[in-house]
Amino acid sequence: MALRNVVKEGDPILRKKCRVVDAVDEKIITLLDDMKETMISDSGVGIAAPQVGMLKRICVCMPDPEKPEDILEFINPVILSCEGEQEGYEGCLSVPGLVGCVKRPQHVRVEAMDRTGSKRIYDLEGFAAVVACHEIDHLDGILYIDKASDIHDPQEDEQ
Ligand code: NI
C-alpha cells in the first residue's frame, strides 16, 4: 500500500464526472487500499477516487473512525433512494481548513459493487448517510462547498 497525494480544490480533476469501473482487477484493489491508507493518514472519514487523481467511480467511507473494520468500499455506487433530512457541518480533504453546513438525507439506500465484484445493497443512516452522499457527489464533480452554508474556518469558532 502507499499514500497518494490528495488533489486540492481548484484542480479541474475534482470537477469532472468519473467513469464507471468495468471490472475489479488488481489495479482497482491497489487503488482501494491506497485510498483507505491515505484517508486514515489524513484523518478523513471518506475519500473518493478523483481526490487521488483517478477519474473512476470508486469511494471509501469510514463513518466511525473508532471502527476502521467497518470501512465501506463502493465501486460504481448508485443512490437508489433517500429518506428524511438532516443538517450538519462537513469538511473535505480536498478543501483543507474549512467546514460548511450541508443538508443531506437521513437515510440512503446505496447499491454498489464490492472488491469481489459482487453487487450489494447498503442501508445507511445518520452520519454514514452523510459520508456516502458527500463521497458519491465527488464522483460527479460536486464538492460540499457547492451546497453548503456558513463555510468558515472552524479554528475561528474557538476565538
Ligand atoms: Ni470530500
The residue type at 16: K
Helix (H, G, I), strand (E, B) or coil at 113: strand
In which band, very low, low, confident or very high, does the pLDDT at 158 lie, cut at 50, 70 and 90? confident
- Give the integer Cα–Cα distance in Å for 27 and 130: 28
What distance in angstroms lies between residue 94's CA and the mean position of ligand 1's atoms? 6
Look at residue 68 in the predicted model and tell me its pLDDT.
Answer: 82
What distance in angstroms lies between residue 21's CA and the mean position of ligand 1's atoms? 20
What distance in angstroms lies between residue 14's CA and the mean position of ligand 1's atoms? 10
Look at residue 127 in the predicted model and tell me its pLDDT.
Answer: 96
| SS3 assignment for 44-107 | CCEEEHHHHCCCECEEEECCCCCCHHHCEEEEEEEEEEEECCEEEEECCCCCCCCEEEEEECCE
- Is residue 159's pLDDT more than 70? no
What distance in angstroms lies between residue 131's CA and the mean position of ligand 1's atoms? 9
**153 neighbors 97 (Cβ within 8 angstroms):** yes
What distance in angstroms lies between residue 34's CA and the mean position of ligand 1's atoms? 16
Q: Which three cell numbers stand for residue 144?
A: 460540499
Active site residue 135: yes
Mean pLDDT of the chain: 96
Q: What would the pLDDT profile of 57-77 be if each residue is shown by its tens digit? A: 999 999 998 888 889 999 999
Rounded mean pLDDT of 28-50?
97
- Give the integer Cα–Cα distance in Å for 10 and 69: 33
pTM of the full structure:
0.96
Q: Give me the catalytic one of 9, 73, 85, 135.
A: 135
Q: What would the pLDDT profile of 101-112 be if each residue is shown by its tens digit? A: 999 999 999 999
Look at residue 112 in the predicted model and tell me its pLDDT.
Answer: 98
CB contact set of 67 (below 8 Å; sequence gap of 6+):
none
In which band, very low, low, confident or very high, does the pLDDT at 98 lie, cut at 50, 70 and 90? very high
